[in-house]
């Protein structure tokens, strides 16, 4: 079990480093998914299968898919790859790296002096998590749901404004004759917008 | 089960699933033909059953072409993801008492994790192909699958409330008195519709709707890479059917004149055929109709189902039972 833990940990760290250093956004997201899966494996080994599954369903299965979705809509090309490459210059990552190194040194120091306490306890099942959430931590759950509700209302409002704009843009785009093959990226964008513009006017 | 027996079981299950997926292509064409008053593939072997093998050989020998403008590594990985996640999904399906690879206490969540990860196959395939049709197809898929995943999860909360566990063997055992499709009929309907959308089978196959998107996300795929998408789709259909049977129709339970595994396989085969029949019977909705239906109808229905089920369980059972 310990070996598996270290393997998962190593994969998670390597994948996360690769996520940061990739210049292609899609490749970075692919590594991020691998990293999340490895973290889920770590959770599983530490006796938290419920957290492990939520990690995959919520993060890998939903949130990162939305990232991928956004990257596909943005139609990033060579320009953004160049930009990313410039962002990865040493004078930009040196400062954060020193801070992280200090944190790492601190962590290693703490691990080397004190005993780590008891090894991971008994597995925490789904029912135990639920009992805690809706018992002592009920207030936190309610606050989080209120935050989500606020986010939902905000997204609805912003989405409505955008909907009207895209509808205008699409109708003007439809009037223009489409030049064959000349400007493929822009056409993808326009078509994608028209594909989703239908969403709002469902009935 | 000992380790050797378990490995043997895993290998047998893998081969059985792959063979079943290949055979299912033939079954689908024969059944479709039957419902449409045609013959279907009936030449190769008895009832044309060798057609499946001929197709497998053909698809393996086809030229495997990667477009020069494609993002090669992602293009190659994408079809493998759907096949692997769908095969992994079968690890938690109990075929009979004791006959399950991983009897996890979070089995149901594992199923969702695997269906959630299979979205990447389609999105990465569409993006890596560097083709407008592929990109549009995968954009549609990402939106469709994320949306329907929500209702898929919500539709099963009622089952979990009644069974009191995420473990699939517990859920089957909890159906000894009554199969869950009676108290959870609403959940069944929502889950069934969501499962069609998740596996993007007809009539919800908008991501690959050929009349507007050529072949959607797999336009650029050929040879066995395309075969893997195909495999993933059929495996997904079988996995959804197996889950419907396990969650709503008592899994391996049945009158004792047949062994449990036969009951399970028979029920699963029935739902696979139902999937095929839907394809023959229903027209494709428009994309906005599909999404509007999901968010404006299925979501409220699924939430209402949870509230009503929870209220009934709290009202009828003693607090000790609910808490357990």
Q: What is the pLDDT of residues A6-20, one digit of tens each?
A: 888 888 888 888 888
Locus of tokens 């009929």: B185
Minimal-distance CA residue of chain A relative to B296: A202
User: Which chain A residues have a beta carbon less than 8 Å from that of B310?
Assistant: none
A38 touching B (Cβ < 8 Å) = no
What residue of B is the nearest CA neighbor of A40?
A: B113
- pLDDT, position B52: 82
Q: Give chain A as a DSSP string.
A: -HHHHHHHHHHHHHHHHHHHH-SSHHHHHHHHHHHHHHHHHHHHHTT-HHHHHHIIIIIIIIIHHHHHHHHHHHT--HHHHHHHHHHTSHHHHHHHHHHHHHHHHHHHHHHHHS---SPP-S---HHHHHHHHTTTTHHHHHHHHHHHHHHHHHHHHHHHHHHHHHHHHHHHHHHSPPPSSS-HHHHHHHHHHHHHHGGGG--
How far A192 CA lies from chain B's nearest CA (Å)? 7
Interface with chain B: mutation pick from A65, A131, A163, A203, highest number of B CBs within 10 Å: A65
What are the pLDDT digits (tens) for A115-128? 555 555 666 677 77
C-beta contacts of B184-188 below 8 A and 24+ residues apart = B184/B158, B184/B159, B184/B248, B184/B305, B184/B309, B186/B155, B186/B158, B186/B301, B186/B302, B186/B304, B186/B305, B187/B155, B187/B156, B187/B157, B187/B158, B187/B159, B187/B248, B187/B302, B187/B305, B187/B309, B188/B155, B188/B244, B188/B248
| Per-residue model confidence (pLDDT) at position B184 | 84
Average pLDDT on A85-100 reads 74
Q: Say if the Cβ atoms of A61 and B132 lie within 8 Å.
A: no
> Which residues in chain B show pLDDT less than 50?
323-324
Distance from CA of A197 to the nearest CA of B (A): 9
Chain B positions with Cβ closer than 8 Å to A: 71, 73-74, 77, 104-106, 109-110, 112-113, 115-117, 119-120, 123-124, 126-128, 132, 135-136, 138-140, 142-143, 145-146, 149, 153, 166, 286-289, 291-292, 296
Q: Which residues of B touch A72 (CB under 8 A)?
A: 123, 126-127, 135, 138-139, 142
Tell me the nearest-neighbour CA distance from A91 into chain B, angstroms: 30
Check CB contact of A128 with chain B, cutoff 8 Å.
no
Instruction: Please write the tens of the pLDDT for every residue from A128-176.
Output: 777 888 888 888 889 999 999 999 898 888 877 766 666 666 665 555 4
Nearest CA in chain B to A188: B132
Q: What is the mean pLDDT of chain A?
A: 74
Chain A interface test: which of B88, B89, B142, B165 (most A C-beta within 10 Å): B142
Which has more confidence, A200 or B163?
B163
* pLDDT confidence of residue A200: 41
CB-CB under 8 Å, B74 with A187: no
Cα distance between residue B238 and residue B21, in whole Å: 8
More reliable by pLDDT, A23 or B262:
B262
Distance between B136 CA and the closest CA of chain A, angstroms: 7
Q: What is the pLDDT of residue A179?
A: 44
- What was the pLDDT predicted at A147? 93
A155: burial class by Cβ within 10 Å (0-12, 13-18, 19+)?
exposed
- How far away is chain A from the Cα of B146, in angstroms, using its nearest Cα? 7
Shortest CA distance from B288: residue in chain A = A199
Return left, alpha or beta for B160; rule: phi > 0 is left, psi -120 to 50 is alpha, else beta. alpha
Gap between the Cα atoms of B172 and B253, Å rounded: 8
Predicted ipTM of the assembly: 0.76
pLDDT of residue B318: 67
Q: Which residues of B touch A53 (CB under 8 A)?
A: 106, 109-110, 112-113
Which of B70, B106, B214 best tests the A interface by mutation, with the highest count of A CBs <10 A?
Answer: B106
Intra-chain end-to-end CA distance of chain B, in Å? 28
* B135 interaction partners in chain A (CB closer than 8 Å): 72, 188, 192
Contact B292 A199 (CB under 8 A): yes
DSSP state of B37: T
Greater confidence, B80 or A200? B80
Identify which has the larger pLDDT, B34 or A110: B34
CB spacing of B142 vs A65 below 8 angstroms: yes
Contact state of A203 with B292 under an 8 Å Cβ cutoff: yes
Q: Bridge partners of B99? A: B96
What is the per-residue pLDDT for A150? 93
Q: How do the domains of chain B map onto residue ranges? A: 62-323
């Amino acid at each position: 079990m310990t070996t598996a833990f270290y393997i998962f940990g190593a994969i998670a760290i390597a994948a996360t480093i690769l996520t940061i250093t990739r210049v292609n956004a899609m490749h970075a997201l692919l590594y991020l998914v691998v990293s999340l899966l490895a973290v889920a494996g770590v959770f599983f080994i530490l006796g938290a299968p419920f957290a492990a599954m939520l990690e995959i369903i919520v993060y890998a299965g939903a949130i990162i898919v939305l990232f991928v979705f956004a990257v596909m809509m943005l139609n990033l090309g060579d320009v953004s790859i160049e930009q990313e490459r410039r962002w990865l210059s040493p004078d930009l990552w040196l400062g954060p790296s020193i801070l992280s190194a200090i944190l790492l040194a601190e962590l290693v120091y703490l691990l080397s002096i004190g005993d780590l306490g008891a090894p991971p306890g008994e597995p925490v099942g789904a029912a135990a998590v639920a009992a805690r959430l809706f018992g002592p931590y009920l207030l936190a759950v309610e606050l989080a749901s209120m935050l989500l509700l606020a986010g939902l209302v905000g997204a609805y409002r912003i989405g409505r404004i955008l909907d009207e704009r895209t509808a205008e843009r699409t109708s003007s785009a439809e009037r223009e004759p489409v030049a064959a093959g000349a400007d493929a990226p822009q056409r993808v964008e326009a078509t994608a917008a028209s594909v989703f513009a239908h969403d709002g006017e469902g009935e | 089960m000992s380790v050797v027996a378990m490995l043997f079981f895993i290998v047998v299950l893998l081969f059985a699933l792959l063979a079943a997926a290949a055979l299912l292509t033939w079954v689908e064409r024969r059944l479709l033909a039957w419902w449409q008053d045609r013959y279907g593939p009936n030449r190769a072997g008895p009832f044309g059953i060798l057609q499946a093998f001929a197709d497998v050989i053909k698809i393996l020998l086809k030229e495997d072409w990667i477009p020069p403008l494609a993002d090669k590594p992602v293009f190659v990985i994408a079809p493998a993801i759907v096949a692997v996640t769908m095969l992994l999904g079968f690890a938690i399906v109990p075929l009979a008492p004791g006959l399950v690879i991983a009897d996890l206490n979070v089995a149901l969540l594992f199923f969702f994790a695997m269906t959630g990860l299979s979205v990447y196959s389609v999105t990465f395939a569409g993006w890596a192909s560097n083709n407008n049709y592929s990109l549009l197809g995968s954009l549609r898929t990402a939106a469709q699958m994320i949306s329907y995943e929500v209702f898929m999860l919500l539709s099963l909360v009622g089952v979990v409330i009644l069974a009191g566990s995420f473990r699939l063997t517990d859920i089957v055992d909890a159906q000894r008195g009554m199969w869950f499709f009676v108290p959870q009929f609403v959940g069944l309907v929502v889950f069934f519709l969501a499962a069609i959308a998740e596996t993007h089978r007809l009539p919800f196959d908008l991501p690959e709707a050929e009349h507007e998107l050529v072949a959607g996300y797999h336009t650029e795929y050929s040879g066995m890479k395309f075969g893997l998408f195909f495999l993933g789709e059929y495996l997904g259909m079988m996995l959804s059917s197996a889950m419907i049977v396990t969650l709503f129709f008592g899994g391996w339970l049945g009158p004792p004149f047949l062994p449990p595994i036969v009951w399970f396989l028979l029920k699963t085969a029935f739902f696979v055929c139902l999937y095929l029949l839907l394809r023959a019977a229903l027209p494709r909705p428009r994309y906005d109709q599909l999404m509007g239906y999901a968010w404006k109808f299925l979501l409220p229905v699924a939430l209402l189902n949870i509230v009503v089920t929870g209220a009934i369980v709290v009202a009828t059972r003693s607090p000790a039972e609910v808490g357990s």
